[in-house]
Amino acid sequence: MATYDHCIIGAGIIGVSIAFRLTQAGRSVLLVDRKGIAEETSRGNAGALAFADVEPLASGGTLMKAPKWLFDPLGPLSMPIGYAPQMVPWMLRFAYASLPGPHAASTRAQVALMALARSETEALLGDAGIGHMVRRDGALYLYEGAAALKAAHPLWKERQRHGVSFEAVHGERLAELQPGLGASYTHGMYVTDWWTVSDPHDYARALADAALAGGARFEIGNVAGIAPGPRSVALTLDDGRSLEAGQVIVAGGAWSHRLTALLGDRIPLETERGYNTTLPPGAFDLRRQLVLPADGYVITPLATGIRVGGAVELAGLDRPPNYRRSEAMLRKSEKVLPGIKTGGGTQWMGFRPSLPDTLPVIGRSPGNPNVLYAFGHGHLGLTQSAATARLVADLALGREPAIDLRPYRPERF
């Protein structure tokens, strides 16, 4: 039986970032995933390092808009009626997290994590030698008319309060930031401190390569059992193999609660499914990521094409995808960018791992000090991956965590 200092379950962007940091610290690391490196949610996301995105989704504003959104089955938020009963406990917690007091606490925690994300991403890009995979040209939020922008002022004021810088743009300046916009998109907010990766799958694989080059090992395997002992943790795979490590880190994305349940830790993790279409390179001369807040999707220039998508579907882990949602956002993009060539695209669905208070779980399993948790980053897993890796490495190596970890502790629910 092989023995490692750390075994990380899940090779999404969270798992590979942790593997890289622990390997750099000289530890022996095994990364295990049932599918491969970044073959799930970290594969096809929108590629944004959205450090400015500090306001928690659980908010009074979301609660106000949700009923209207739910009336449009292909709109920004949908939920099959058959899945609604299963969502009720999560939604009640979401509603609680949206109250002014809890919302303010989540905002403080998100601001702290984002500040760390910014500095740790910079450090990780340098240490892994992958800085060339990131473009730093900001994001352009688009609004149909001055009134729509004005309605968004509370959000921008809140961001300003937290140090986010942005520029209100229209007319020539807007056209310079993105030529060829549809006539109704007359106003924008240009956020400079917002980066995008060349392609999220390529980025995660490059980071995994850096970890493997540093000595980490990778195995394909589906973890079915976790048995913590006094000095190590034994894992069993569904093909009968066994693994052992001094410490196990659960980074299983939207499936993590199935692993924590094996240890008696019941964590209210749900998935917010998201959809997109990736068009071939050259589908449009896109200058930077465009954000369409009214419709809940983004249009991203990647090295591998133009990716159009987003939205939220509350439908759990097991229902088949409804790619009409990808199609609906692609059709909407024709109004934003009338010259876009929408043929030849590839559709995709991914499972955002989401906790009701919009914060991830980063911390030790309450009854099992040799098991660490790192999952539940919702819409922001790529953005917060380097910060999470830093914090998990702090815990794993017995260092003082870079920020106060209490808001992210697993037992907060």
Query: Contact positions toward ligand FAD, by CB under 6 A?
Result: 9-15, 32-35, 38-42, 45-48, 50, 222-223, 251-255, 259, 274, 276, 309-310, 350, 352-353, 375, 377-383
DSSP letter for 207, please: H
DSSP letters spanning 112-180 = HHHHHHHHHHHHHHHHHT-GGGEE---EEEEESSHHHHHHTHHHHHHHHHTT--EEEEEHHHHHHHSTT
Beta carbon of residue 83, minimum distance to ligand FAD (angstroms, whole number): 17
- As beta bridge partners, residue 362 has 374
Q: What's the rounded Cα separation, in Å, for the pair 124 and 273?
A: 28
Instruction: Name which of 14 and 109 has its Cβ closer to ligand FAD.
Output: 14
Locate the DSSP E strands across 231-331. 233-237, 242-250, 270-279, 289-292, 297-302, 305-313
Identity of residue 195: W
Beta carbon of residue 43, minimum distance to ligand FAD (angstroms, whole number): 7
Beta carbon of residue 251, minimum distance to ligand FAD (angstroms, whole number): 6
| Structure-token pair, residue 270 | 């749900």
Instruction: Name which of 135 and 170 has its Cβ closer to ligand FAD.
Output: 135
Instruction: Name which of 214 and 253 has its Cβ closer to ligand FAD.
Output: 253
Identify the CA nearest to 189 among candidates 168, 163, 174: 168
Instruction: Name which of 363 and 381 has its Cβ closer to ligand FAD.
Output: 381
Instruction: Name which of 12 and 56 has its Cβ closer to ligand FAD.
Output: 12
Beta carbon of residue 46, minimum distance to ligand FAD (angstroms, whole number): 3
Beta carbon of residue 260, minimum distance to ligand FAD (angstroms, whole number): 11
Q: Which of helix, strand or coil describes residue 342?
A: coil
Beta carbon of residue 407, minimum distance to ligand FAD (angstroms, whole number): 18
Q: What's the rounded Cα separation, in Å, for the pair 374 and 364?
A: 9
Instruction: Name which of 9 and 174 has its Cβ closer to ligand FAD.
Output: 9
Contact 329, 336 (CB under 8 A): no
DSSP letter for 201, please: H
Kindly report the backbone phi and psi dihedral angles of residue 164, in degrees, each rounded to the nearest multiple of 5, phi listed first.
-80, 130
| Structure-token pair, residue 278 | 């990736």
Instruction: Name which of 101 and 119 has its Cβ closer to ligand FAD.
Output: 119
Give kind and range of the element (H or E) at residue 195. Answer: strand 195-197
Beta carbon of residue 391, minimum distance to ligand FAD (angstroms, whole number): 14
Instruction: Name which of 87 and 237 has its Cβ closer to ligand FAD.
Output: 237
Beta carbon of residue 291, minimum distance to ligand FAD (angstroms, whole number): 10
